[in-house]
A and B are shown apart, each in its own frame.
Chain A
Amino acid sequence: MEEQELTQEIKPPANTKGLGRWLKDNLFNTWYNTLLTCLALVFLFFALKGFLTWAFTEAEWDVIPANFRLFMVGSYPQEQIWRVWNAIYILSVLMGLSAGLWGGLVLRFAVALSGVWFISALLPVELSTRGWCLGAIAMIAVSFFLGRGRTSLRPWILGGWILSFPVIMVVLRGFGENGVLTSNWGGLLLTLILAVVGIVVSFPLGVFLALCRQSNLPAIRWVSTTYIETVRGVPLITILFMGNVLIPIFMPGLDINQVLRMMIGITFFSGAYMAENVRGGLQGIPRGQHEAAQAVGLNYVQTTLFIVLPQALRSVIPAIVGQFIALFKDTSLVSIIGLIDLLGVAKSVIANPDWLGLQAEVYLFAAVIYFVFCYAMSYASQDIETDLGVGKH
């Protein structure tokens, strides 16, 4: 045997424990924990038993597939459904390219989405729908391989995402009488549109308001503070009602449709909360950071863009994503104004004499859809935090 060095590297002890040991350490380590564990098990047994019995024997799940189109797109006309698929394809191409360019989080989402399309294609759906689903997978896959390794494309793809926003609106709406009026937008489609517009517009609005509230100019600070405090003092539903009634009065010449009015209301509301989240981050930036930036010769705009905002936003990602999630769920309030979003569809299905008494099934389905999207946002935020090394550097 070779002579060993004095300071031989010693591996840390393996910290894997057996299942039995884990159970003993975590669930049965004291008499009261043992008692709690047993009580919890009894409770879980009865709760799960009740739920599972209902879900597999009593629940009438027929209501979901029978109204699936309604849940997804509301009263969007069947013969124009290609518009929705075209919008999905635009996003699929962008997603595929991004997955190829960046990998990581986007890639995982692209794979998950492809999985959803694949399962949808296996379900007993119309042949045309099956074709669209498989087409979406193909779009993602092809653009993934096109995008792989071409890092020089990155700025173009980012531009593409920004541009896709108005393009998709036009695709979904079409022109004039031949298009689809926004009053026919509904279901999950409407929920997503409201949420994405709200998020994409309220975020920069919030950053802008937060910077204004920190301004050295009293007038700007005062206007921003007044706006934030006023909006935060009013419930969202009130703002939506007011938007519905007041916007046509303030702008009589313009024909602003109801969906747009709701977008404006949601954005203004969320912007105020976003501003306070961002301000929390701005206040956490030490004075020395501003001074160092000034000493290097950066002006106010450069200091804000390159030094202050990257650090401030990074530290408030959890709060910002929390606000995004709240906004996503708050879009359901538009069903009170009369728009038929996901929750609106759920209500109208329950009110349909053919499906009376199926509240549990319908609301559970809606809840699962809301959960999937909210959890995806939460998951993405954790991933982004790890990527940016929050708390490490």
Chain B
Amino acid sequence: MAAQENALNDPIIMCEDLHKWFDDFHVLKGITTSFQKGERAVICGPSGSGKSTFIRTLNRLEEHQRGTIIVDGVELTDDLRNINLIRQEVGMVFQQFNLFPHLTNLQNITLGPIRVRKLTKSEAEEVALSLLERVDIADQAYKYPAEISGGQQQRVAIARALAMEPKIMLFDEPTSALDPEMITEVLDVMRELAHSGMTMLVVTHEMGFAREVADRILFFDEGMIVEEAPPADFFDNPQHERTKLFISQTLQH
């Protein structure tokens, strides 16, 4: 690939003219962008702007109807083999955690490694326990998701995604369903992950986190990328009226 010529230009995700409709509603109107290996991108914008739909197309939770997505050299098509290949490289964290309520926290994490990566049970548990240690809730391993707090559940969800050893992590509003005092503990884990060099795409309204951690901020409105810039430029010198309005509204709080 041409991208290999330049270390600074080594995209792990490339999107070209991405379109998506929900029935007649045009959600994504030609998204063209790319993400570098190790890049930390924050995606923000008003609700209904298509930002969640966008990152959900990247691991085929939503199907795009026009354009191309290439993840780590594999094009996302109807081919199930490609979809499964990409899903193993892309971890995802959801707004509602989506932990499996009938499994313990440990089993939530080991399920994928055992069934998909074909690790033995003891190997998978070793990995899972060290990840729980990393997100600072090793003592909750044998409880069920319903028995721990929302912030802890979201950290288990992050550990579950990491257990598949993904190259990319997608976060779909990971703190939006949390009580305020639990947001910090989840953001701390994400900060640590960002410093470890993981490629991260984060849809969030946490502007403090965006300013501190992001390499680039993409601002979505009405299914298009209105503005993309490093946090300093984005917050202090926004170019578009929509962006200015959004920033003034979010920073007031």
B151-171 toward A: CB 8 Å interface, digit per residue (1/0)?
000000100110010000000
Contacting residue for B146 out of A293, A297, A310, A393, CB 8 A: A393
Known contacts A292-B94, A296-B160; A393 and B101 CB within 8 A of each other: yes
> Which residues of A are found within 8 Å of B145, using beta-carbon distances?
393
Contact A306 B111 (CB under 8 A): yes
Contact A297 B98 (CB under 8 A): no
Contacting residue for B116 out of A297, A314, A389, A392, CB 8 A: A297
How far does the Cβ of B243 sit from chain A's closest Cβ, in whole Å? 30
Contact A288 B112 (CB under 8 A): no
CB-contacts of A270-296 with B (<8 A): 286, 288-289, 291-296
Contact B94 A297 (CB under 8 A): no
How far does the Cβ of B145 sit from chain A's closest Cβ, in whole Å? 7
A30 at the interface (CB under 8 A from B): no
A297 to B96, CA, bound (A): 19
B91 at the interface (CB under 8 A from A): yes
Contact A292 B100 (CB under 8 A): yes
> Which residues of B are found within 8 Å of A314, using beta-carbon distances?
102
From B144, which residue of chain A is reached at the shortest CB distance?
Answer: A393
B129 at the interface (CB under 8 A from A): no
Contact B147 A295 (CB under 8 A): no
Contacting residue for A292 out of B88, B98, B102, B147, CB 8 A: B98
Known contacts A288-B96, A291-B94, A393-B147; A299 and B102 CB within 8 A of each other: no
A205 at the interface (CB under 8 A from B): no
> Which residues of B are found within 8 Å of A311, using beta-carbon distances?
100-102
> Which residues of B are found within 8 Å of A286, using beta-carbon distances?
98
Contact A296 B111 (CB under 8 A): yes
Contact A306 B146 (CB under 8 A): no
A-B contact count (CB 8 A): 68
A298 at the interface (CB under 8 A from B): yes
B9 at the interface (CB under 8 A from A): no
Contact A294 B146 (CB under 8 A): no
A307 at the interface (CB under 8 A from B): yes
B92 at the interface (CB under 8 A from A): yes
B84 at the interface (CB under 8 A from A): yes
How far does the Cβ of A174 sit from chain B's closest Cβ, in whole Å? 44
B87 at the interface (CB under 8 A from A): yes
> Which residues of B are found within 8 Å of A295, using beta-carbon distances?
59, 61, 87, 90-92, 94, 161
A392 to B145, CA, bound (A): 10
How far does the Cβ of B221 sit from chain A's closest Cβ, in whole Å? 25
B86-121 toward A: CB 8 Å interface, digit per residue (1/0)?
011011101010111110000000011001100000
A302 at the interface (CB under 8 A from B): yes
How far does the Cβ of B92 sit from chain A's closest Cβ, in whole Å? 4
> Which residues of A are found within 8 Å of B146, using beta-carbon distances?
392-393
Contact A389 B98 (CB under 8 A): no
From B143, which residue of chain A is reached at the shortest CB distance?
Answer: A393
A393 to B103, CA, bound (A): 8
A292 to B158, CA, bound (A): 12
A295 to B115, CA, bound (A): 13
Indicate the member of A289, A295, A299 with the most B CB atoms within 10 Å: A295
Contact A306 B115 (CB under 8 A): yes
> Which residues of A are found within 8 Å of B144, using beta-carbon distances?
389, 392-393
> Which residues of B are found within 8 Å of A292, using beta-carbon distances?
92, 94, 98-100, 157
Known contacts A296-B111, A297-B87; A310 and B98 CB within 8 A of each other: no
Chain B interface (Cβ within 8 Å of chain A)?
59-61, 80, 84, 87-88, 90-92, 94, 96, 98-102, 111-112, 115-116, 144-147, 157, 160-161, 164
Q: List 20 A-B contacts (CB under 8 A).
A: A286-B98, A291-B61, A292-B92, A292-B98, A294-B59, A295-B61, A295-B87, A295-B90, A295-B161, A296-B160, A296-B164, A297-B84, A297-B88, A297-B116, A298-B115, A306-B115, A311-B101, A389-B144, A392-B146, A393-B102
Chain A interface (Cβ within 8 Å of chain B)?
286, 288-289, 291-299, 302, 306-307, 310-311, 314, 388-389, 392-393
Q: A295-B161, A314-B102, A393-B147 are in contact. List 15 more A-B contacts (CB 8 A).
A: A291-B94, A292-B94, A292-B157, A293-B100, A295-B61, A295-B87, A296-B87, A296-B111, A296-B160, A297-B84, A297-B164, A298-B116, A302-B116, A310-B102, A392-B146
Of all A-B residue pairs in the complex, the 6 with the closest CB atoms, nearest first, are: A393-B144, A292-B98, A296-B112, A288-B98, A295-B92, A393-B146
